[in-house]
Structure 1
Amino acid sequence: MSDLLFVYGTLRKGNSNKMAEYLSVHAEFLTEGWFQGHMYQISYYPGVIASDDINDRAYGELYRLIDPETALAILDDYEECSAQHAQPAEYKRITTPISTMDGNIFEQVWIYLYQWPITDKLLIKEGDFMKLLVES
């Protein structure tokens, strides 16, 4: 099981919520990076979907989980995609390559991808949820 996690929304540094605090204690921040995808404003939080265009980037942070099995179970509950939640869930957790800002690629990184319709959702063109929060 991979111990790497990529977060792009409310779990990033600078957010003050219970799960961001949990992550700051139970994971080690490694670096900033990006996923090849589009980011949308879903509500007070974003969602990311994959893209085939290498120029599409969703920015976030890469973490190493101290106890991946426990942390991912807790995060699955937070993201409401564990088995106890109605399916299809709003998010699904998959492993994917993540690129770092200095050009390295981590091949097996967990990410929560959005899987509900995006037709009425606002595209976050810069692909950075934290910049959107600062501008609001």
Structure 2
Amino acid sequence: MPDYLFVYGTLRRDYDLKLKNRVSGNLQYVGQAKVGAALYDLGRYPGAVRSRKGEEVIGDVFLLSEADRVLRILDKYEGIPEGRPDQGEFVRKKGKVKLRSGKEVNAWIYWYNLDPKERQPIKYKNYLNYLKNKSIR
């Protein structure tokens, strides 16, 4: 069964992050997708929280090769204790994401794991658009 990864923030395809150089050979871009979630500004990066209120977050889907190695590197970046993908500021869980084609895939997603009530909601569905507009202000 293929391993997919859905990313919505600093791991997006068009975001310049040096860490991606370590895993780029193991990421095959599949396309844009969306997931039912609310997006929050956490300072230097965003956090998504699952939502069933009709909110959506847009991100990129990648097909992973050597998934265990890639996820170990990304877990460390996301502050997840080694071997504990269910603990930390972010947690990694599988969830359904809908590709632009309409196809749904089950992908790994890094969810924000703390209470977002003190955080600034991001009204844009797309973090990269939010950053562009934020820098214009």
Matching of residue 15 in structure 1 with residue 15 in structure 2? yes
- Note the 1:1-136 alignment, pairs <5 A: 2-53=2-53, 55-83=54-82, 88-106=87-105, 108-135=106-133, 136=135
Structure 2: distance between partners of 1:132 and 1:8:
12
Q: CA deviation at 1:102?
A: 2.3
Q: Which amino acid aligns with 2:103?
A: N
Structure 1: distance between partners of 2:96 and 2:37:
12
Deviations 1:20-79 (A, max 9, x none): 3334332000010011000100111000000112x2101100000111011011111111
| CA RMSD, 1 decimal | 1.8
Equivalenced residue count is: 133
Deviations 1:70-109 (A, max 9, x none): 1011111111113378x84100000000001221111x21
Structure 1: distance between partners of 2:94 and 2:33:
15
Gaps of 5+ in 1: none
Identity %: 27
Structure 2: distance between partners of 1:128 and 1:95:
20
SS at match of 1:36: strand
Gaps of 5+ in 2: none
TM-score normalised per structure 1: 0.89
Structure 1: distance between partners of 2:120 and 2:2:
32
TM-score normalised per structure 2: 0.88
